[in-house]
Amino acid sequence: MYKVVIIDDEPVIAEGLSRGIKWEKWGCRVAAAAENGQDGIEVIRRECPDILFTDIRMPGMDGLSMIAALKSEYPDMQITILTGFRDFEYAREAIRLGVTRFLLKPSKMDELEEAIQVMTEKLSQKKEQKEGMAEKTGEEKETEEGPEEIAAGSFIAQNAVKYIEENYMNKLKLSDVAEQVYVSQWHLSKILNRHVEKSFSDILNYVRIEKAKELLKEPSLRIGDIAEKVGFLDIAHFSRVFKKQTGFSANEYRNHMK
């Protein structure tokens, strides 16, 4: 049986999907439902569903970021979006990230059933492909990233770097950024290494030192003040990172700029 999770902040819609569709017809069962994106992600991590029906315009949730996170972390999961949000570019981006169907509310029963049929067929195909590969090699191997996974990983990496660039001055941890892009710390670390070819700490230090170089053009600012402004709590640490990244000490760099 394929496991299904439903996420929608309108209880009547979640209830209608859960009870109004004969899920067993497609070998499916509804495992759980959630009323917002954050709870939905917790449910997904707990249940590891095969199929997800979700809205993307819910309070406190960036729909595209959540879709990218899910497709990156659970590449085989089939996703259908149900939304009242009519925007062609948004729909196109969602499909590029790996959404199977993008349906507008109120959706007709035949549209929902067609989406379920397509999703279950895709799941069956993926299962057959994995079993075929296992028979050839004698073991199950991790498949290479497909275009949807690459697009999702790139989307997450861009959002993560943007968040770092906007919050570099704060005491920023990998877990803070991972929470913003809806993935685990481990998975975000893997994505950054793959798509940016740098670790989280290297990206953060690079952004901070680039900002420090700009501030060094202002002669009235002391080195210690600059270090603090760009997020370093320890001036000695700032000095080591600055020298490693630029080849100069902060004072040497400032004199060189003059």
Same domain, 118 and 165: no
Same domain, 7 and 96: yes
pLDDT at 41: 85
Same domain, 196 and 169: yes
Q: Of 81, 112, 137, which residue is a domain's last?
A: 137
| Ordered DSSP codes for 216-232 | TT-TTS-HHHHHHHTT-
Do 70 and 79 meet the contact criterion of CB atoms below 8 Å apart? yes
CATH number, domain at 174? 1.10.10.60
Do 3 and 52 meet the contact criterion of CB atoms below 8 Å apart? no
Domain total in the chain: 2
Q: Of 110, 137, 164, which residue is a domain's last?
A: 137
Nearest to 188 by CA among 211, 172, 210: 172
Nearest to 244 by CA among 218, 219, 195, 208: 208
Do 11 and 35 meet the contact criterion of CB atoms below 8 Å apart? yes
Nearest to 164 by CA among 150, 144, 181, 139: 181
Q: In the chain, which stretches have pLDDT less than 70?
A: 60, 137-144, 258
- Over residues 57-116, the pLDDT tens digits come to 777 677 888 899 999 999 999 999 998 888 888 888 888 899 999 999 888 999 999 999
Q: Where are the alpha helices (DSSP H) in 97-197?
A: 109-137, 147-167, 174-180, 185-195
Domain span at residue 116 reads: 2-137
Is pTM beyond 0.85? Reply is no
Q: Of 93, 113, 137, which residue is a domain's last?
A: 137
Same domain, 62 and 174: no
Pairing label, strands 78-83, 28-34: unpaired
